[in-house]
Structure 1
Amino acid sequence: MALLLVGSAKSAWAQEPSPRAPWVVGAYVQGSIIMAHTEAIQHLAVSHPTGFEVNLQRQTTGAAPWHGWYKYPKIGVALTYYDFRNPVLGYAVAASPYINKSFSRGPKHDFSFRLGAGLAYLTNPYNQDTNHKNTIASSSLNATLQLRFEYDYALTPHLGLLAGLGLNHYSNGATTKPNFGVNLPSVVLGLNYHEQRNAPQANSNAPAPADVGQIFYNVSTSLGFKQRTEADRRKYLVNSVTAAVGRRVSRKSNLLAGVEGFYDRSLKATLEDTTRAGLRQPDVKKAGVFVGHELLFGRLAFVSHLGLYVYAPYKSSTAYYERLGLKYHVTDRLFGAVDLKIHRGAADVIEFKVGAKL
C-alpha cells in the first residue's frame, strides 16, 4: 500500500518542483488488553499483551496532487511483534503499510491519526486436538488492522518523543473457524528519528481533478473462500457480481449505488445437512442493493458499503450487510480490490475482486 501510494501517477497540472521527501524512523513499545467483544473469548481476555514496533515512513511533500489535499500525510510500513502473555494464544508478528494524517503540525509537535492494514502471523492458532481453547484465531495467517492517534513532540531537531492510543485487530475474515478475532486497545510510547522535521511543501493549491462532478459506472466480480463450521474443515467458494453507478463529488470522495448478486456454497452444504429428506430446499443465492463511499488517495481508495438483501429465500444472516476494503486502479479503467464483507460486526468472507470502470 505504501509503495502504491507513493507511486501514484502524477497529474498533468502545472506544478512547482517537489522538495525531496525526508524519512522518519520509529521504534515503539506497546501495552494492551484483550477486548472481550463476545462471550466466546472471555476466557482469553485475562492477559495483558505487550508489543514492540519498528517503522519506516516518508513525509510527502507535494509530488502528487492528493498530498496537498490531505495536508501532506506520511506514508509508511510497520513491523510489529506481540506477546499475548498467554500460552493458548502465543505470539504475533505483523507487517502493515499505513498512512498517517496530521491534524495539527507545528515547529515542535505533530498530532496525527494513523490507519494501516496488512498481514499477521500468529504462532498458536486453534487446533481441535491440541489447542481447542483458542477461539480467537483458527489460522496462522491473518489480516491486521491498525488505528492509532499519535502525538510526536520534538526533543531535539531530529529526535521526537511519541505517545499514542490505538487499536490493533487480527482476524482471518472467517476463512477458517472459529474466528472471533482479537481487538487490542493499546498505549504506545517510543521515539522517532526525523531526517528533516517540518520539510518544505509544494503544490498546496493543486486544482481539483477534471472528473469531479462526473458520473461513472463500475462492473466487477469477486471470489472468496470460507469454512462453514469447526467440524467441517472444507473451504467453500463464494462468488459475487456487482454493477454500480458512481459520481466523484469532490477531490477526495466518490459516492456509489449499485446492485449485486451472491452465491455462497457453504449455505448449500448447511441446507443439505439440516433439511429433512424429501423437502424442497430454498435458493441460497442472494441479491442486494447498496450505497457506498470511496475515500481517494490517488489511485488507491478506502471503500465502505452498506447493503440490503432484496432477494434472500434462505434467511442465513441479517437482512443487511457491510463491506470495508481497499481498491486500487491499475489503469484508468481496470481495478482490483480486497474487501471484507460483514454481517452485524461478524466477518462473513474476504472478497478478492477485479473490475472495470466504464
Structure 2
Amino acid sequence: MKRSISIFIYLLAVCSYAQDIEQSSKEQRPTLFGVNIDYAYILKHSENLKSIDDAFPKSVGISWSKLLLTKSAWEFCNCFPRLGVDLAYWDWDNRDVLGNGVLAMAFAEPYFRTQKRTNILFRVGLGGAYLSNPFDDTANPQNLSYGTNLSFALMVGFGFNYRFTDQWNLNVMAKYNHTSNGGIKNPNKGLNFPSLSLGVTKSLEPLKFPQFEKTGKREPPKDKQRLSVVHFSGWSNASVGDKDKFYVFGFMGKYSRWIGGRSAVTVGTELIFDYSRREQIKQDGRDANFLQAAALVGHEFWLGKVTFSQELGAYYLNDFRINDDIYQRYGLTYNFNSHFFAGFNLKAHRHVADFIDLRMGYTF
C-alpha cells in the first residue's frame, strides 16, 4: 500500500504540473472517450470484516479525457499524460450488507513507449463515492466498511495500451481501489478492492505522437532546503462511549532538503493532542498522558507552489498505547509565497485512517 501511495503522489504531481501547461495551436491535445469494465475482489483487511462473505465486485464506467501531446508535458516526465474524468457504477456483490456505489474520479494517466504500438501506462484517480447502504445499528449492523453515504475514493493502476488504429485503443490494467470517509464518522474500515480492468477508448482525431529527445537532469531550485513549522487541526476518527467526534490539533517542525529532479527528503517531529484519547483514558479510569510525540522521515515533490508529501512516523512519546507505534502521513500544501503555506494531510495507521487535518505553516 505504501508503494501504491508513493506512485499515487508522483502521478498527482504529473497532473498538477500539466494543468499549468501553456496552450499552443501547433501542439495536439486530442479528446478521447472511453468505456471500461472491472472485476474485483474485496480484501478483508480487518478482523471485524471476516464475517462478511467473499465478494467479487463488478463495474462499468465511462470516461472523458485529453491527451497532452506537448513538448512541455514531455519535458516534465518524458511521457505524454492523459488527463480526464471517470464515472463508474459498482455492484459490490453483497447488496444486503454493502449495497452498491457510484465512483466519480479525476485521473492522470502518463503514457510511456509511445513510439511503439503497445504503450506502458500508469493511472491515478482521486475523487468521491456515493455508497448506498451505510452502517446502521439496527438495519445494517454488519457493514463496518463505511458509515456514511459519501466517501473519498482513490485508485492507482498499471497496465498496457494497444493502438489498433490512430483513433481506437484497447487497454488492460491492474488496479488498487480504496474508499474511506477520512474519519468523518465511524465505522470507517473502508473498501479495499484490487481489480482487473478492460477498456476501449476512441479519439476524436487521429493520434500522432511527437518524437522528442529525452530530457536530462533538471536545474536545482534556488533554495535547496526548507525549515518549516506547522499548526494543524482536525477531527479524530474514533468512537468513545456514545461520542464519535473529537477535536485533534498539533504542531510540527520539519527540515526538507532537495536531492534532485523535483524531489526532497525530510526529517521532522510533531506533537499531537487527540481528545478522543483523553476521553478514553477518563472512561478507563487510568492515570496516563494523552499527548503523543513522534519523529518523522519522508519525501516531498516540489512542484512550484504545490508540494506533495509522504512521511513515516514513529512515536517516541505514547503513554496511552492503543494503536501501532508506526504510522503514515500523506499531504498536499500550497505555497502562497516564500514563507506562508496551507493545505491538508491524512494520518493513518496502516489501512485505517486516523484523521484528516487542515494545516497552516511558515517556512523560514
Q: CA deviation at 1:44?
A: 2.7
**1:53-68 superposed matches below 5 A:** 53-62=61-70, 64=72, 67-68=75-76
Change (3 A) 1:164 1:344: closer
Change (3 A) 1:197 1:221: farther
1:69–1:204: 8 Å Cα contact kept in structure 2? no
Return the alpha-carbon distance in structure 2 between the equivalents of residues 230 and 187 of structure 1.
39
Q: Which residue of 1 aligns with 2:5?
A: none
Residue 49 (structure 1) aligned with residue 61 (structure 2): no
Return the alpha-carbon distance in structure 1 between the equivalents of residues 154 and 216 of structure 2.
31
Q: CA deviation at 1:318?
A: 2.1
Range moving further from structure 2, 59-68 or 217-226: 59-68
Instruction: Name the SS for the 1:179 alignment partner.
Output: coil
Change (3 A) 1:189 1:339: same
Q: Which residue of 1 aligns with 2:30?
A: 22
Q: CA deviation at 1:227?
A: 4.3
Change (3 A) 1:99 1:71: same
Q: 2:221 aligned to 211, 225, 228, which one?
A: 211
Range moving further from structure 2, 104-113 or 297-306: 297-306
Q: Which amino acid aligns with 1:8?
A: D
Q: CA deviation at 1:310?
A: 1.9
Instruction: Name the SS for the 2:281 alignment partner.
Output: helix
Range moving further from structure 2, 45-54 or 100-109: 100-109
Change (3 A) 1:230 1:50: farther
Q: Which residue of 2 aligns with 1:8?
A: 20
Return the alpha-carbon distance in structure 1 between the equivalents of residues 303 and 111 of structure 2.
15
Q: Which residue of 1 aligns with 2:239?
A: 229
Per-residue deviation, residues 53-98 of structure 1 (Å, max 9, x unmatched): 2222322344647853342322222222211122211121222222
1:60–1:67: 8 Å Cα contact kept in structure 2? no
Q: Which residue of 1 aligns with 2:300?
A: 294
Change (3 A) 1:62 1:219: farther
Residue 264 (structure 1) aligned with residue 274 (structure 2): yes
Return the alpha-carbon distance in structure 1 between the equivalents of residues 347 and 57 of structure 2.
28
Instruction: Name the SS for the 2:279 alignment partner.
Output: helix
2:15–2:108: 8 Å Cα contact kept in structure 1? no
Range moving further from structure 2, 289-298 or 85-94: 289-298
Q: Which residue of 2 aligns with 1:39?
A: 47
Q: CA deviation at 1:244?
A: 0.9
Q: Which residue of 2 aligns with 1:76?
A: 84
Residue 309 (structure 1) aligned with residue 315 (structure 2): yes
Q: 1:341 aligned to 343, 347, 350, which one?
A: 347
| Runs of 5+ consecutive residues of structure 2 not aligned to the other structure | 1-11
Q: Which amino acid aligns with 1:236?
A: F
Q: Which residue of 2 aligns with 1:169?
A: 178
Return the alpha-carbon distance in structure 2 between the equivalents of residues 170 and 51 of structure 1.
15
Percent of residue pairs bearing the same amino acid type:
26
Change (3 A) 1:3 1:249: closer
Q: Which amino acid aligns with 1:141?
A: L
Q: CA deviation at 1:314?
A: 2.1
2:37–2:61: 8 Å Cα contact kept in structure 1? yes
Range moving further from structure 2, 199-208 or 136-145: 199-208
Range moving further from structure 2, 55-64 or 198-207: 198-207
Return the alpha-carbon distance in structure 2 between the equivalents of residues 240 and 202 of structure 1.
47
Q: Which residue of 1 aligns with 2:164?
A: 155
Aligned positions, number: 350
Residue 274 (structure 1) aligned with residue 280 (structure 2): no
Q: Which amino acid aligns with 1:178?
A: P
Change (3 A) 1:228 1:296: same
Q: 1:190 aligned to 169, 183, 199, which one?
A: 199
| Runs of 5+ consecutive residues of structure 1 not aligned to the other structure | 11-15
Length-normalised TM-score, structure 1:
0.87
Q: CA deviation at 1:132?
A: 0.7
Return the alpha-carbon distance in structure 2 between the equivalents of residues 308 and 49 of structure 1.
36
Residue 353 (structure 1) aligned with residue 363 (structure 2): no
Residue 321 (structure 1) aligned with residue 327 (structure 2): yes
Residue 123 (structure 1) aligned with residue 132 (structure 2): yes
Residue 138 (structure 1) aligned with residue 150 (structure 2): no
Q: CA deviation at 1:188?
A: 0.8
Change (3 A) 1:112 1:296: farther
Q: RMSD of the alignment, in Å?
A: 2.9
